[in-house]
Structure 1
Amino acid sequence: MVEKRATQRHRVFKGGTITFENSGIACTVRNMSEGGAAIDLDTTITLPQSFTLLIERDNFVRSCRTVWRSDRRIGLAFVQ
């Protein structure tokens, strides 16, 4: 497989929340880089084009967009 990421991702296992339209969905952050992350959801759900990823424990808040999706795992790009 050819690596297409601009920066290397680091494995993590952190609880997070995806927020949009005044609602929140729990997720597990599986890896992260400066430019994005991969998350796992408990259920399949349709996400809007842009949303916010929150990792409360780290005071981490980033606007995101979906780059790819495979079942319940989603690749995110952080929007600046």
Structure 2
Amino acid sequence: MADDIKTKLERYRTAPFDARFPNSNQTRNCWQNYLDYHRCQKALEERGVDVAPCDWYKRVYKSLCPMSWIEKWDGQRDDGNFPGKI
């Protein structure tokens, strides 16, 4: 399983199509992948498991989201006032 994820990450070029977000506006896709990454990381760290599979979400949100949004959300998480449920 880990080899399969590593292979996918090596071949990764851009965010794949996600049927949950069929429209051209990918704002919600960006937001959802940001949340999914941090939820995945939190869940796997609590179990003491390698968090490498979560890197898929990180690559997707980094390719979809403007850096200013990511920096803002990271700052909000650090300050404890992030609006999403992680």
- TM-score above 0.5: no
Q: TM-score, structure 2 length as denominator?
A: 0.22
Name which structure has the greater RCO, CA cutoff 8 Å, separation 6+.
2
Larger radius of gyration: 2
Determine which structure has the larger strand proportion and give its number: 1
Q: TM-score, structure 1 length as denominator?
A: 0.22
